[in-house]
Chains A and B, each alone.
Chain A
């Protein structure tokens, strides 16, 4: 079971690049890392997923070093609307044979300041 650890909270000014790092020391060989974003009173929203090196989409970039013991979500030029909780996840073996589940922690609460 891969456990992830990330900062509880972060503050950033508008227009800055924000990097949120997550550690997952015992990640399994085949496991991907997934990040979700959640706004108040809404369900989480999938942001990005990766296995190693760098993945980029229209919203964010994900950096995973060669040892895969950590990953960094990078949000370029944040705006006030990026204020949310960000979750770093890796899959865990589920109770059913061949099944997997995502375990959400408390996430990182990002506050963007004007």
Chain B
């Protein structure tokens, strides 16, 4: 089975611009979640989509948004980029989201490295 694919791998943008990142989950996986990783803050949860619906959202400003398509592929958009948005953005997929205290293991892609200048 192919793993989680994220495109592009690297991206350089200017402050004020917007960017769209793409994630193709493992075939059959319906849950897609996004994370931001920076040296200072570590891995932070952005949001999760399940069957095209946003089920969960982390503490990020409204400039960060996402969506999921009927084939489970997902996109993440960041508008009005700031220097602090420079980070590794990771996408993860799983067959299901969770039940009780048991979460389905996440399968991560290798991320998109975004640099804002």
Contacts and interface: CB of A to CB of B under 8 A. Distances in A.
A96 interface: yes
Nearest to B94: A46
Main secondary structure of the interface of A (DSSP, over half): loop
- Which bracket fits the contact residues of B? 20 to 34
A101 B105 contact: no
Interface residues of A, number: 30
B63 interface: no
A102 to B, nearest CB: 6
Interface string B42-54: 1111001000001
Given A94-B48, A101-B33, A32 B102 contact: yes
B111 interface: yes
Interface of A: 28-32, 34, 36, 41-46, 49, 51, 87, 90-91, 94-96, 99-107
Interface of B: 4, 33, 35, 42-45, 48, 54-58, 88, 90-92, 97-98, 100-103, 105-111, 113
